Protein backbone atom coordinates (compact mmCIF):
# COMPACT_ATOMS: atom_id res chain seq x y z
CA UNK A 1 0.00 0.00 0.00
CA UNK A 2 1.27 3.47 -0.80
CA UNK A 3 1.17 6.31 1.62
CA UNK A 4 -2.38 7.49 1.38
CA UNK A 5 -3.51 10.58 3.20
CA UNK A 6 -7.25 10.31 3.78
CA UNK A 7 -9.66 13.17 3.27
CA UNK A 8 -10.75 15.24 6.21
CA UNK A 9 -14.40 15.36 5.23
CA UNK A 10 -17.00 13.24 3.47
CA UNK A 11 -18.16 14.43 0.07
CA UNK A 12 -20.65 13.39 -2.56
CA UNK A 13 -19.38 11.34 -5.46
CA UNK A 14 -20.52 11.76 -9.03
CA UNK A 15 -19.03 8.49 -10.23
CA UNK A 16 -18.05 5.10 -8.88
CA UNK A 17 -17.08 4.33 -5.36
CA UNK A 18 -14.08 5.08 -3.22
CA UNK A 19 -10.88 3.20 -4.02
CA UNK A 20 -11.04 -0.33 -2.65
CA UNK A 21 -7.40 -0.79 -1.74
CA UNK A 22 -6.59 1.28 1.26
CA UNK A 23 -10.23 1.55 2.22
CA UNK A 24 -9.30 1.66 5.89
CA UNK A 25 -6.93 4.56 5.29
CA UNK A 26 -9.62 6.42 3.36
CA UNK A 27 -11.92 6.75 6.38
CA UNK A 28 -12.54 10.46 6.93
CA UNK A 29 -10.88 11.87 10.01
CA UNK A 30 -13.57 14.39 10.86
CA UNK A 31 -17.31 14.20 11.07
CA UNK A 32 -19.37 14.45 7.89
CA UNK A 33 -20.37 17.77 6.39
CA UNK A 34 -22.43 16.96 3.32
CA UNK A 35 -23.97 20.32 2.63
CA UNK A 36 -25.68 20.66 -0.76
CA UNK A 37 -23.39 23.51 -1.77
CA UNK A 38 -20.28 21.31 -1.76
CA UNK A 39 -18.66 20.50 -5.08
CA UNK A 40 -18.99 16.77 -5.80
CA UNK A 41 -16.02 14.46 -6.18
CA UNK A 42 -15.36 12.47 -9.33
CA UNK A 43 -13.65 9.09 -8.88
CA UNK A 44 -12.74 9.11 -12.58
CA UNK A 45 -10.76 12.33 -12.20
CA UNK A 46 -7.27 12.47 -10.68
CA UNK A 47 -4.90 15.36 -9.99
CA UNK A 48 -1.33 14.39 -10.88
CA UNK A 49 1.40 16.33 -9.08
CA UNK A 50 5.16 15.75 -8.93
CA UNK A 51 8.27 17.41 -7.56
CA UNK A 52 6.70 19.79 -5.08
CA UNK A 53 10.08 20.22 -3.30
CA UNK A 54 8.66 21.82 -0.19
CA UNK A 55 11.07 23.55 2.17
CA UNK A 56 10.65 23.89 5.91
CA UNK A 57 10.69 27.62 5.22
CA UNK A 58 7.57 28.73 3.33
CA UNK A 59 9.51 31.78 2.10
CA UNK A 60 12.24 29.67 0.46
CA UNK A 61 12.98 30.63 -3.15
CA UNK A 62 14.99 28.39 -5.48
CA UNK A 63 16.55 28.97 -8.91
CA UNK A 64 15.83 25.72 -10.70
CA UNK A 65 17.54 27.08 -13.79
CA UNK A 66 20.80 27.71 -11.97
CA UNK A 67 22.69 24.43 -12.03
CA UNK A 68 26.20 23.55 -13.20
CA UNK A 69 26.22 23.47 -16.98
CA UNK A 70 22.91 25.24 -17.40
CA UNK A 71 22.35 26.68 -20.90
CA UNK A 72 20.43 29.60 -19.32
CA UNK A 73 22.38 32.85 -19.65
CA UNK A 74 23.46 34.81 -16.59
CA UNK A 75 20.73 37.21 -15.58
CA UNK A 76 18.02 35.06 -17.16
CA UNK A 77 17.71 32.47 -14.43
CA UNK A 78 14.21 31.79 -13.19
CA UNK A 79 13.19 30.50 -9.82
CA UNK A 80 10.10 30.00 -7.74
CA UNK A 81 8.80 30.02 -4.21
CA UNK A 82 7.92 26.34 -3.78
CA UNK A 83 5.25 26.83 -1.11
CA UNK A 84 3.52 29.40 -3.30
CA UNK A 85 3.62 26.98 -6.25
CA UNK A 86 1.98 24.17 -4.28
CA UNK A 87 -0.59 26.57 -2.82
CA UNK A 88 -1.43 27.79 -6.35
CA UNK A 89 -1.79 24.22 -7.63
CA UNK A 90 -3.97 23.25 -4.66
CA UNK A 91 -6.15 26.30 -5.34
CA UNK A 92 -6.51 25.38 -9.03
CA UNK A 93 -7.36 21.74 -8.19
CA UNK A 94 -10.02 22.99 -5.80
CA UNK A 95 -11.44 25.27 -8.52
CA UNK A 96 -12.45 22.21 -10.60
CA UNK A 97 -16.03 20.98 -10.75
CA UNK A 98 -16.43 18.14 -10.16
CA UNK A 99 -13.35 17.78 -8.01
CA UNK A 100 -10.86 14.98 -8.63
CA UNK A 101 -11.47 12.40 -5.90
CA UNK A 102 -7.77 11.51 -5.81
CA UNK A 103 -4.42 13.25 -6.09
CA UNK A 104 -1.07 11.53 -6.61
CA UNK A 105 2.15 13.34 -5.70
CA UNK A 106 4.74 11.40 -7.70
CA UNK A 107 7.83 11.91 -5.57
CA UNK A 108 10.15 14.65 -4.36
CA UNK A 109 7.70 16.10 -1.87
CA UNK A 110 10.67 17.60 -0.02
CA UNK A 111 13.29 20.11 -1.10
CA UNK A 112 16.42 18.65 0.47
CA UNK A 113 16.44 15.12 1.81
CA UNK A 114 13.08 14.60 3.48
CA UNK A 115 13.48 16.52 6.72
CA UNK A 116 10.62 16.20 9.26
CA UNK A 117 10.02 19.95 9.04
CA UNK A 118 9.70 19.72 5.25
CA UNK A 119 7.02 17.05 5.60
CA UNK A 120 5.15 19.07 8.21
CA UNK A 121 5.04 21.96 5.77
CA UNK A 122 4.01 19.63 2.92
CA UNK A 123 1.14 18.24 5.03
CA UNK A 124 0.06 21.79 5.92
CA UNK A 125 -0.02 22.84 2.26
CA UNK A 126 -2.04 19.83 1.04
CA UNK A 127 -4.54 20.08 3.92
CA UNK A 128 -7.11 22.01 1.79
CA UNK A 129 -7.22 19.04 -0.62
CA UNK A 130 -8.02 16.70 2.25
CA UNK A 131 -10.58 19.11 3.65
CA UNK A 132 -12.31 19.06 0.27
CA UNK A 133 -12.55 15.26 0.50
CA UNK A 134 -9.66 14.45 -1.86
CA UNK A 135 -7.52 11.41 -1.05
CA UNK A 136 -3.80 12.05 -1.51
CA UNK A 137 -1.31 9.35 -2.51
CA UNK A 138 2.45 9.84 -2.43
CA UNK A 139 5.41 8.03 -3.99
CA UNK A 140 9.03 8.31 -2.88
CA UNK A 141 11.45 10.54 -4.79
CA UNK A 142 15.21 10.93 -4.52
CA UNK A 143 14.75 13.98 -2.26
CA UNK A 144 12.47 12.03 0.08
CA UNK A 145 13.16 9.83 3.05
CA UNK A 146 10.51 7.16 3.49
CA UNK A 147 11.32 6.52 7.17
CA UNK A 148 10.92 10.19 8.01
CA UNK A 149 7.82 10.48 5.82
CA UNK A 150 6.29 7.50 7.66
CA UNK A 151 7.22 9.13 10.94
CA UNK A 152 5.63 12.44 9.88
CA UNK A 153 2.32 10.65 9.18
CA UNK A 154 2.62 7.41 11.19
CA UNK A 155 -1.04 6.43 10.87
CA UNK A 156 -0.51 5.89 7.15
CA UNK A 157 2.73 3.96 7.29
CA UNK A 158 2.49 1.01 4.95
CA UNK A 159 5.49 -1.03 3.96
CA UNK A 160 6.10 -3.70 1.36
CA UNK A 161 9.56 -5.08 0.65
CA UNK A 162 10.96 -2.29 2.81
CA UNK A 163 9.71 0.14 0.19
CA UNK A 164 6.63 2.20 -0.50
CA UNK A 165 4.65 0.27 -3.12
CA UNK A 166 1.00 -0.53 -3.53
CA UNK A 167 -2.21 -0.57 -5.53
CA UNK A 168 -5.00 2.01 -5.58
CA UNK A 169 -8.23 0.70 -7.08
CA UNK A 170 -10.38 3.23 -8.90
CA UNK A 171 -13.55 2.44 -10.87
CA UNK A 172 -11.92 2.67 -14.31
CA UNK A 173 -8.27 1.88 -13.57
CA UNK A 174 -5.90 0.48 -11.01
CA UNK A 175 -2.91 2.60 -10.06
CA UNK A 176 0.29 0.77 -9.14
CA UNK A 177 2.60 3.02 -7.17
CA UNK A 178 6.28 2.06 -7.22
CA UNK A 179 9.32 3.14 -5.23
CA UNK A 180 12.36 4.09 -7.35
CA UNK A 181 14.34 5.15 -4.25
CA UNK A 182 17.49 6.99 -5.40
CA UNK A 183 17.50 5.50 -8.86
CA UNK A 184 16.80 1.78 -8.44
CA UNK A 185 13.72 -0.37 -7.88
CA UNK A 186 15.49 -3.71 -7.42
CA UNK A 187 14.77 -7.28 -8.45
CA UNK A 188 12.39 -7.91 -5.57
CA UNK A 189 10.16 -5.01 -6.59
CA UNK A 190 10.19 -6.09 -10.24
CA UNK A 191 9.02 -9.57 -9.15
CA UNK A 192 6.33 -7.98 -7.00
CA UNK A 193 5.22 -5.83 -9.95
CA UNK A 194 5.17 -8.84 -12.28
CA UNK A 195 2.94 -10.82 -9.89
CA UNK A 196 0.75 -7.82 -9.08
CA UNK A 197 0.09 -6.95 -12.74
CA UNK A 198 -0.71 -10.62 -13.45
CA UNK A 199 -3.19 -10.66 -10.55
CA UNK A 200 -4.94 -7.43 -11.47
CA UNK A 201 -6.70 -8.90 -14.51
CA UNK A 202 -7.99 -7.00 -17.52
CA UNK A 203 -8.77 -3.66 -15.89
CA UNK A 204 -6.42 -0.92 -17.15
CA UNK A 205 -3.42 -0.19 -14.94
CA UNK A 206 -1.43 3.04 -14.73
CA UNK A 207 2.00 2.79 -13.15
CA UNK A 208 3.67 5.53 -11.13
CA UNK A 209 7.32 5.90 -10.20
CA UNK A 210 9.44 8.96 -9.55
CA UNK A 211 12.44 8.30 -11.82
CA UNK A 212 12.40 8.28 -15.59
CA UNK A 213 12.84 4.63 -16.58
CA UNK A 214 14.89 5.47 -19.67
CA UNK A 215 17.43 8.21 -20.49
CA UNK A 216 16.10 11.75 -20.79
CA UNK A 217 17.49 14.11 -23.42
CA UNK A 218 15.78 17.34 -22.36
CA UNK A 219 17.47 20.54 -21.30
CA UNK A 220 19.08 18.74 -18.38
CA UNK A 221 19.85 15.26 -19.77
CA UNK A 222 20.19 12.28 -17.47
CA UNK A 223 20.38 8.51 -17.63
CA UNK A 224 17.42 8.08 -15.26
CA UNK A 225 16.61 4.99 -13.24
CA UNK A 226 19.70 2.80 -13.17
CA UNK A 227 17.69 -0.40 -13.46
CA UNK A 228 15.01 1.12 -15.69
CA UNK A 229 15.99 -1.33 -18.44
CA UNK A 230 14.64 -4.12 -16.20
CA UNK A 231 11.39 -2.28 -15.47
CA UNK A 232 10.38 -1.71 -19.08
CA UNK A 233 10.03 -5.41 -20.07
CA UNK A 234 7.72 -6.00 -17.08
CA UNK A 235 5.54 -3.05 -18.11
CA UNK A 236 5.54 -4.25 -21.72
CA UNK A 237 4.73 -7.87 -20.84
CA UNK A 238 1.44 -7.12 -19.06
CA UNK A 239 -1.10 -5.76 -21.54
CA UNK A 240 -3.28 -4.38 -18.76
CA UNK A 241 -0.51 -1.81 -18.13
CA UNK A 242 -1.57 1.10 -20.32
CA UNK A 243 0.40 4.09 -19.08
CA UNK A 244 3.30 5.01 -16.82
CA UNK A 245 3.73 8.38 -15.08
CA UNK A 246 7.02 9.68 -13.77
CA UNK A 247 8.59 12.96 -12.61
CA UNK A 248 12.21 13.71 -11.68
CA UNK A 249 13.26 15.49 -14.90
CA UNK A 250 11.07 18.55 -14.08
CA UNK A 251 10.13 18.47 -17.75
CA UNK A 252 6.82 17.80 -19.55
CA UNK A 253 6.87 15.00 -22.10
CA UNK A 254 3.99 12.85 -23.38
CA UNK A 255 5.04 9.98 -25.64
CA UNK A 256 4.33 6.38 -26.57
CA UNK A 257 6.75 3.47 -26.49
CA UNK A 258 5.65 -0.10 -27.25
CA UNK A 259 2.03 1.11 -27.19
CA UNK A 260 2.44 2.28 -23.58
CA UNK A 261 1.80 5.95 -22.84
CA UNK A 262 4.62 7.55 -20.86
CA UNK A 263 3.80 10.79 -19.11
CA UNK A 264 6.71 12.80 -17.77
CA UNK A 265 4.85 15.02 -15.32
CA UNK A 266 5.77 18.68 -15.18
CA UNK A 267 7.01 19.83 -11.76
CA UNK A 268 4.79 21.71 -9.35
CA UNK A 269 7.85 23.73 -8.37
CA UNK A 270 11.06 24.73 -10.15
CA UNK A 271 12.13 23.91 -13.70
CA UNK A 272 15.51 23.70 -15.43
CA UNK A 273 15.21 26.05 -18.38
CA UNK A 274 13.86 29.53 -18.77
CA UNK A 275 10.13 29.57 -19.49
CA UNK A 276 9.37 25.86 -18.99
CA UNK A 277 5.90 25.14 -17.60
CA UNK A 278 5.19 24.07 -14.05
CA UNK A 279 1.91 23.03 -12.50
CA UNK A 280 -0.15 19.83 -12.45
CA UNK A 281 -2.01 17.40 -14.71
CA UNK A 282 -5.77 16.93 -14.72
CA UNK A 283 -6.48 13.29 -15.68
CA UNK A 284 -9.97 12.12 -16.62
CA UNK A 285 -10.27 8.36 -16.87
CA UNK A 286 -12.57 6.77 -19.43
CA UNK A 287 -13.39 3.18 -20.38
CA UNK A 288 -10.88 2.95 -23.22
CA UNK A 289 -8.37 5.64 -22.32
CA UNK A 290 -7.87 8.95 -20.58
CA UNK A 291 -7.84 12.66 -21.29
CA UNK A 292 -5.04 14.65 -19.71
CA UNK A 293 -4.77 18.41 -19.48
CA UNK A 294 -1.73 20.33 -18.34
CA UNK A 295 -2.57 23.06 -15.85
CA UNK A 296 0.18 25.66 -15.47
CA UNK A 297 0.81 27.76 -12.37
CA UNK A 298 1.11 30.62 -14.84
CA UNK A 299 -2.30 30.67 -16.56
CA UNK A 300 -0.76 32.83 -19.33
CA UNK A 301 1.82 30.18 -20.23
CA UNK A 302 1.56 29.12 -23.89
CA UNK A 303 1.15 25.48 -22.87
CA UNK A 304 -1.53 26.06 -20.25
CA UNK A 305 -4.44 23.69 -20.91
CA UNK A 306 -2.43 21.58 -23.39
CA UNK A 307 -4.46 18.41 -23.87
CA UNK A 308 -3.70 14.86 -24.91
CA UNK A 309 -6.01 11.94 -25.58
CA UNK A 310 -4.55 8.63 -24.48
CA UNK A 311 -6.08 5.54 -26.08
CA UNK A 312 -5.31 2.33 -24.23
CA UNK A 313 -3.53 -0.47 -26.08
CA UNK A 314 -5.53 -3.65 -26.68
CA UNK A 315 -5.34 -6.71 -24.50
FE1 LIG B 1 12.63 16.76 -8.30
- The CATH number of the domain holding residue 284 is 3.60.21.10
Q: How far is the CA of 254 from the centre of ligand 1 (A)?
A: 18
Radius of gyration of the chain (CA): 18
Q: How far is the CA of 180 from the centre of ligand 1 (A)?
A: 13
Residue-level pLDDT at 7 = 77
* Helix orientation angle between 228-237 and 187-199, rounded to the nearest 10 degrees: 10
Report the number of distinct structural domains present in the chain: 1
Residue-level pLDDT at 31 = 41
Q: How far is the CA of 35 from the centre of ligand 1 (A)?
A: 38
Task: List, in order, residues 6 or more apart from 37 with CB less than 8 Å away.
Answer: none
Q: How far is the CA of 222 from the centre of ligand 1 (A)?
A: 13
Those residues of the chain that have pLDDT short of 50 are: 1-2, 18-32, 34-35
Task: List, in order, residues 6 or more apart from 292 with CB less than 8 Å away.
Answer: 48, 254, 263, 281, 282, 283, 284, 307, 308, 310
Q: How far is the CA of 24 from the centre of ligand 1 (A)?
A: 30
Q: How far is the CA of 286 from the centre of ligand 1 (A)?
A: 29
Q: How far is the CA of 249 from the centre of ligand 1 (A)?
A: 7
Q: Where are the beta strands (DSSP E) in the chain?
A: 3-5, 13-15, 41-49, 61-62, 80-81, 99-106, 135-139, 166-169, 174-177, 205-208, 241-246, 253-257, 260-264, 279-285, 289-296, 307-311
Q: How far is the CA of 268 from the centre of ligand 1 (A)?
A: 9
Q: How far is the CA of 105 from the centre of ligand 1 (A)?
A: 11
Residue-level pLDDT at 13 = 73
* Three-state secondary structure call for residue 15: strand
Cross-strand pairs, 281: 48, 294
Give the predicted TM-score (pTM) of the model: 0.93
Q: How far is the CA of 156 from the centre of ligand 1 (A)?
A: 23
Sign of CA dihedral 63, 87, 309, 225: positive
Neighbours of 83 (CB within 10 A): 24
Residue-level pLDDT at 260 = 98
Residue-level pLDDT at 55 = 98
Q: How far is the CA of 42 from the centre of ligand 1 (A)?
A: 28
Q: How far is the CA of 142 from the centre of ligand 1 (A)?
A: 7
Range(s) of the domain holding residue 22: 3-311
Q: How far is the CA of 51 from the centre of ligand 1 (A)?
A: 4
Q: What is the dihedral of CA 111, 78, 222, 235, to 10 degrees?
A: 70
Ion ligand 1, residue ranges at CB < 5 A: 51, 108
Q: How far is the CA of 193 from the centre of ligand 1 (A)?
A: 24
Amino acid sequence: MPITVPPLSRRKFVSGTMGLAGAAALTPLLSADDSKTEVPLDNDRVALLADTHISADPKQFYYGTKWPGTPVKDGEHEGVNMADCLAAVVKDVLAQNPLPAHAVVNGDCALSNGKPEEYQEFIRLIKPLRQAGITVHVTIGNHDNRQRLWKAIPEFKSEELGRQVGVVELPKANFVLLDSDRGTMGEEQFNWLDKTLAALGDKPVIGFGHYHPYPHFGVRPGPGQRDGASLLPVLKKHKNLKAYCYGHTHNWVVEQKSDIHFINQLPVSYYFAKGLPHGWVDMKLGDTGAEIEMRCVNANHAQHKERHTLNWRKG
